[in-house]
Amino acid sequence: MRTCAAAVAAAAAVFVPAAGAATPVPIAPITPGDEGATTAVSAPAGAAAQPVQLTVTIKTELQCGRIRAGSILVTLPSAMRLSASIPRDSVTLNGAAPASMAVTGHIVALKVAPKPGIICDVIGPGVIRIVFARSAGLGNPMDAGSYAVTVHSGTVSGTAHLSITA
């Protein structure tokens, strides 16, 4: 009996803080850095090159490392050449084709379908990589220079500067 009482007292000393112990201080929330940072690279990068592969990235929030369901809007420079429609299988979002897409002028709307089943609810910083393959038919602007490419994903947006060489 005394052994049991001693064990309970020892456990209580470990699990119950002593009177006068320091009060825990809350920490500041963790915020991801560079949210909205965007890059854009065309290959080849020469003026008037067509077709080209365009790779655009944006740092944003991902859910369990996955792109959240919704729309991603990519606004291409008005000087960039593109057709009225782009084949869906010529564009990838982190390696997968979008659920659907539409082209209006120089704005490409990419739809991300919700993931089936149960996924975790951890929201953390990550990168969305959008690749327009050469089969998308994009063409670089006719003149060398720096051109803005804007990406909107959820509440995050960013603008990259696409460098086109002579």
Q: What is the pLDDT at residue 103?
A: 96
Q: Please say whether the beta carbons of 138 and 132 come within 8 A.
A: yes
pLDDT at 30: 47
Q: What is the pLDDT of residue 118?
A: 85
In 3D, which of 126, 132, 133, 91 has the Cα closest to residue 112? Answer: 91
Nearest to 72 by CA among 120, 32, 107, 33: 107
Closest CA to 68 of 106, 136, 22, 123: 123
Determine the pLDDT at residue 26: 61
Sheet holding 91-93, edge to edge: 38-43, 53-63, 123-132, 91-93
Distances (CA, A) of 149 to 75, 106, 159, 160, 161: 6, 10, 6, 5, 6
What's the confidence (pLDDT) of residue 31?
A: 54
Task: Give the tens place of pLDDT for each residue, 51-97.
Answer: 999 999 999 989 888 898 999 999 999 999 998 899 999 999 999 99
Instruction: Average the pLDDT over each of 31-35, 133-137, 154-158 and give the range with the smallest value.
Output: 31-35
- CA dihedral over 110, 129, 38, 164, signed as positive or negative: negative
Q: Domains of the chain by range and CATH?
A: 33-164 (2.60.40)
- pLDDT per position as a tens digit, 3-60: 555 555 555 554 455 555 567 666 555 455 688 899 999 999 999 999 999 999 999 9
The pTM score is 0.79
Q: What is the per-residue pLDDT for 116?
A: 84
Q: Which alpha helices (H) appear in the chain, and where do they start and end?
A: 2-15
- The model's pLDDT over 96-122, given as tens digits with 9 standing for 90+, comes to 999 999 999 999 999 999 888 888 888
- At residue 166, the pLDDT reads 92
pLDDT tens string 142-151: 999 999 999 9
141: pLDDT strictly greater than 70: yes
